[in-house]
Amino acid sequence: MLSVIGRFYFITSPLLVFCISNMASVYSLCLSKQQLIGILLIIIFFSSSTAKGCYKSIISFGDSLADTGNWVILLQQNKPTPAFPPFGGTYFNRPTGRCCDGRLIVDFFAQKLGLPMVPPYFRDANCSNCRKFRKGVNFAVVGATALDNAYLARKGIINELTNVSLGVQLGLLKTLLPSLCSSSSACNEFLKNSLILMGEIGGNEFNLAFIQGISTEVIGGLVPEVIKAISAAIGELIELGAMTFVVPGTIPLGCLPVLLTRFQTPNKQAYDRYGCLIWLNDFAHYYNEYLKKELESMRRLHPRINIIYADYYQASMPLYLSPRSFGFKSTLTACCGGEGPYNVNVTLSCGDPGTKSCDDPSSYVNWDGAHFTDEAHRVISNGLLDGSCTIPRFEFPSCAS
């Protein structure tokens, strides 16, 4: 019989196996020659690397949690702090434009799948050597939002970091595709064999709104709009041929040193037992539940498409619940920053004069007040890549040679 597990088909009947290996036997009623050829073709197809999940490319959208260098490239005339030490010192031994001491989650995905680190699109936006984007391209930019800046401005939210929203990033991919594939069918095949990382994107709308004092009514109203923008982008990519999406939820916002500093209060009831702000984590839960429901609706609409919810929140929580089991000594204090209880100075960024970096970033969960360290990203990525923090459970195979 033919068993179906996920999108894979397995021949499980002993009789069928016997017939294949004993074509001249008395079991002549089992399969005709044409049927045997068809079965062999199915076996060959489903044993291919792509069918196993060894994707040929990673296409990444998002914000600072996924940016591998675009923001620094875009600001060549006035380079931001991720262009300088101590950024990048742990893994790359140099700044790469990542908001981290080392690798991001997208880097751990690339390593697991045996692909190169995903290059930033703006390193070669003129496409002088587009072939390098065949195995991956990253459109994520620090400060990017799911909604465009004009829309946010009408809500009173000002984004001065970038105007490269999710819609702009998607447009850049559409512009790039003809340089990567020779026809629409070839582009369809390219996207079908690519893993699409949809962020994290959408978090900056809320971070900016919280910090700028926007009302909770306006912030709550943004949630469906942000998720609608993410859903629409996924829909467009499906039409172009993409078949596998990883869609992250937001992280535990109430555990970020930058927000703990901004909303510090003497009211002990505002914090959970781990020192995180309850109301911010409650909001993160609310957003994630809304996103999960939307993705479930999309799965019903597109049953042949892999739409995987990446639970960044749950994958992050072990860092706070049992930090010592992972070798962390500090969970809520930034490794690199200014002063204060969380080592965060809202007027200074990591790398600015007057800031300092810890001696051992691997013992810290947080890097600069708003982003995780390389070691924290490794722990989070493990929970995603083994499927324990994805919905549906989707274990990514190791494809590294």
Dihedral through CA 4, CA 315, CA 324, CA 284, nearest 10? -160
Helix axes 184-192, 216-240, angle to 10 degrees: 120
Q: Catalytic pick from 371, 374, 377, 381?
A: 371
What are the C-alpha distances in Å from 145 to residues 50, 101, 150, 228? 31, 23, 11, 13
Q: Catalytic pick from 67, 107, 311, 368?
A: 368
Q: Which two tokens stand for residue 345?
A: 């100075």
CA nearest neighbour of 248 among 221, 235, 229, 230: 230
Decide if 68 contacts 118 (C-beta within 8 A).
yes
Count CB-CB contacts under 10 A for residue 362: 18
Angle at 51 between CA 48 and CA 56, to 5 degrees: 85
Q: Catalytic pick from 57, 60, 63, 64?
A: 64
Question: CB under 8 Å to 7, separation ≥6 — which residues?
Answer: 51, 304, 306
CA nearest neighbour of 20 among 1, 42, 37: 37
d(CA 186, CA 170): 18
d(CA 291, CA 281): 15
In angstroms and rounded to an integer, the radius of gyration of the C-alpha atoms of the chain is 23
d(CA 336, CA 307): 36
64 classed as catalytic:
yes
302 classed as catalytic:
no
Question: CB under 8 Å to 133, separation ≥6 — which residues?
Answer: 119, 121, 124, 127, 176, 179, 180
Q: Where in the sequence numbering do the catalytic residues fall?
A: 64, 368, 371
